[in-house]
């Protein structure tokens, strides 16, 4: 289960900051983006293109940023 990031200063984060928080690299230099299944039902969500919000790529990443129980950063995902 992921926890949304609500108690930090999201306004100061850049796209690069977020990508560095959620990316790991193996010994061969391959990069992997860490994701957490949100556990939500896709039918309970509204597509951003229909919700009337003025979202930039940066704001979408900020809103998708989450942590797991150990405090590791990841991006929330949902299976469709």
pLDDT at 79: 80
pLDDT at 71: 84
| Domain residue extents for the chain | 3-77
pLDDT at 28: 97
CA 63 and chain centroid, separation: 6
Please say if the pLDDT value at position 6 is more than 80: no
pLDDT band of residue 1 (cuts 50, 70, 90) is: very low
pLDDT at 29: 95
C-alpha–C-alpha distance, residues 76 and 26, integer Å: 22
pLDDT tens string 23-74: 999 999 999 999 988 788 888 887 777 776 678 888 888 888 888 888 889 9
């Amino acid at each position: 289960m992921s926890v949304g990031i609500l108690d930090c200063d999201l306004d100061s984060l850049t796209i690069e900051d977020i990508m560095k928080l959620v990316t790991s690299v193996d010994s061969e230099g391959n990069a992997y983006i860490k994701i957490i299944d949100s556990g939500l039902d896709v039918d309970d969500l509204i597509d951003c293109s229909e919700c009337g919000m003025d979202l930039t790529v940066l704001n979408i990443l900020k809103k998708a940023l989450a942590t797991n129980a150990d405090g590791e950063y990841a991006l929330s995902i949902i299976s469709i």
